Structure formats: C-alpha cells, structure tokens
Amino acid sequence: MATDPTQVTVGIHDLTFATTSLCLTHEELARHTGAPVAKYHHGIGQTAMSIPTEDEDIVTMAADAATPIIERHGGGRIRTILFATETGIDQSKAAGIYVHSLLGLPPHIRVVELKQACYGATAALQLACALVRCDPAQQVLVLASDIARYDVDSPGEATQGAAAAAMLITAAPDLVELHTPSGLFTRDGMDFWRPNYRTTALVDGKASSDAYLTAVDGAWHDYQTRGGLPFEKLRTVCYHQPFTRMAHKAHRRLQQAASITAPLHTTDDAIGPTTTYNQVIGNSYTASMYLALTSLLDSDTDLGGDSIGFFSYGSGSVAEFFTGTITPRYRAHLRTEAHRAHIARRQPIDYDTYRHLHTYSLPTDGTPHEVTRQTQGRYRLSGIRHHQRQYRTAQS
C-alpha cells in the first residue's frame, strides 16, 4: 500500500555543526580599526569570528560536521545528500561529492548542490522533507557550509565567520517535527552579491537590512494566509543571523506584523538563546539559521513539546517562514558538550595572521601546490594538482 505523504511526520532527527580551528576576537579587530569594541559587542552583537586555516574549507567543515551523524546512525539508509552553499569551490561538481567520499558512504546516493545566498539550506531542508514523505524508509543528509568573507576595512568585515551544519532528515524525528505550510517571499534586489570573479562579497548594509525586514513581513503574511500558526503559539523564532542583533530586529518586526505589543526585554529573552553560537562564530551564511536552532536546543530552556518558528532569508532575495515542534525526547539526542568543546578549541590569532589568511589563495593555473596540515579537524585540504582539489583525513 502506498504511503500517504500527508500522514508522515518528518523533520530533523539529528543536528550538529563544525567550525574552523582559528578565531579573531573583536577586541583584536578593534585594536586595528580603532572602533570602540562596544560597536561590535553591542552594536552588532558579535564577540569573535571563526577564521579558516589554509587547509580548511567548506568541504572539510561539512565532512567534520557530518561525521558524528554517520557514527551514530550509519549511512545505509541515506539516499540523498543535499549540500547548500554560497561559497562553492567548483562551478560544476557538487562539494557534497567530496564529502560523500571522505565519509566512506555507499555509492547508491544522489548528491546535489543548491544555491540561493543564505536561504539555500532551507530549500535543501524542504526538498529533503518531501523526499522522506514520499519514502519514509529513506534518510536525507542536509549539509550547509560557508565561509563569509568581505573586503578588509569594509563595513561587513566585522560580521565574517565560517561554519557548517549537518542535519539528518527522517520520518519520526528525534529532535524537531517540521510543519506545513510555509510562507514564501521573493523579490529581485541587489542588497548582497558575489560575482564569479570575486572572492569577497559585496553588500549594501542598509539595503540588506531593509530587504530582510521586508521579507519578514512578506513571508509571515503568506504563512498566515495559508493557515499557519498564530504568533502566540510560538515559543520563539530562529532567524538567519548575518549578525546576532539582526535577529532581535527581525523579531520586533515580526511582532509588529502580527500586531503583538511586547516589552523590549521579553523580545531579547525570546531571541537570546538562539544567538549563543552565532555570536562567537560570526556569519556562516547557509548554516546560520541552523546554528541558531542548535544554540536554542543546547540552551538550558526546556522546549519539549513547544512550537517554534523559523525565518530563513537569502539576499537577492528569497525568504521562507515555517514552524516545527520540539519533540518531548529531544534532550536525550543533543550534542551540547561536543558543540561547546568544538568552539572552545579554536586558537585566537592576531590581526596580522588574520590578514595573511584573508589574502591567501590557491594557485589558479594548475600548478601543483601542497598545503601543510594546520587544522584541528578530522579532514583537510592537502593541496591542488591539475586544477583538482585533494582531500584526506587530517592524520594522513
């Protein structure tokens, strides 16, 4: 008998993340820029940003994030890997194929890369849910991995960061049951973009903030017209966080759109638990909203049975609002200690080291190039030969 997709409970069964081996604190950045450190700590809500070593990239972070999931659940039921990124390493080959190889997964898996700025991972999540609803026996591995890089001394420099999130999407999930409907919003704009010939992104800060908040209104309105939950039913909302203060602004805008009047401190209390990891990692583009979810789940707040919202935004722009329910058993499946240890292991660097890494690049003429081991992670980029990136375990 065929499965009725509308009767299948689908969502996030496991969730983890990885970041880089280095970090630049905003105190160190302030010593160079001359800006008061409060501009960073309180103005944008950031205290540090993850910086990749020469042998770390979106593939090594994604493989590092996914490994604990494979160790816990195995890979035999995974039929699809969806890799979302806006800092792709190849215009043709999906970065997820490298991850598939590093993880030693079986060959009978489809692998696809998705792109739409910071929204791409949510497109991957929704595609994954649709696949599982059609075949509840299969699992989908969703990877979101990015390195946010802006020009030195530009307004966006202080919001840089890097991380990867990995999610296992299944029927009868252990962490979050995802709901329908979704609220959608798309509008053509140039608030943030990165042409193929640039390694750093371009951004119009005010235009981007305005576009983000307009998308909050648009996605929420569409969600409500399709019979979504009222605002009062939501414990909190996980937002895309280009910087953590943006989540606070977005929540106040959502309250206005829902005709909710709330004191400022209650807004901050609702959003604060979602910002812990992004505050010290920086912007991770496609992974950002899912780090917000991880931060919320790892907090001391008891969320079992609560409904929460998600607002995913990608410049250009595309946005989606949807909801989910935290399962009563979620705490038994968290990785809180591992996540905190992963962040704590990062080595602080000085500004000169950061500048070197910011300008470092692989050769583009096919010249053989070896990369020395620097990462603290499980995997590394070992070099490039004949225009081909070489990956291996960090111990080899």
Note if 71 is an active site residue.
no
Dihedrals phi, psi of 205, to nearest 5 degrees: -55, -50
Q: Which of 243, 83, 38, 66 is nearest to 168 (CA)?
A: 66
| Catalytic-labelled residue, pool 13, 26, 56, 86 | 86
* H or E element that contains 113: strand 110-114
Note if 129 is an active site residue.
no
User: If you ran DSSP here, which 8-state letter would residue 227 be given?
Assistant: T
How many CB atoms are located within 10 Å of the residue 344 CB? 8
- Give the Cα separation of 133 and 335 in Å (integer): 26
How many CB atoms are located within 10 Å of the residue 147 CB? 25
Q: For residue 140, what are its two tokens?
A: 């989908």
> What is the signed CA dihedral for 314, 173, 222, 229, rounded to 10 degrees?
-130
Contact in structure between 173 and 9 (CB atoms under 8 Å)? yes
385 DSSP β-pair partners: 388
- Give the Cα separation of 246 and 86 in Å (integer): 20
Q: For residue 28, what are its two tokens?
A: 């160190």
Note if 56 is an active site residue.
no
| Catalytic-labelled residue, pool 23, 118, 129, 238 | 118
| Catalytic-labelled residue, pool 26, 100, 240, 342 | 240
Report, in angstroms and rounded to the nearest whole number, the Rg of the chain calculated over CA atoms.
20
Q: Which of 122, 162, 161 is nearest to 142 (CA)?
A: 122
Distances (CA, A) of 243 to 92, 161, 337: 31, 10, 24
- Please identify every residue annotated as catalytic: 86, 118, 240
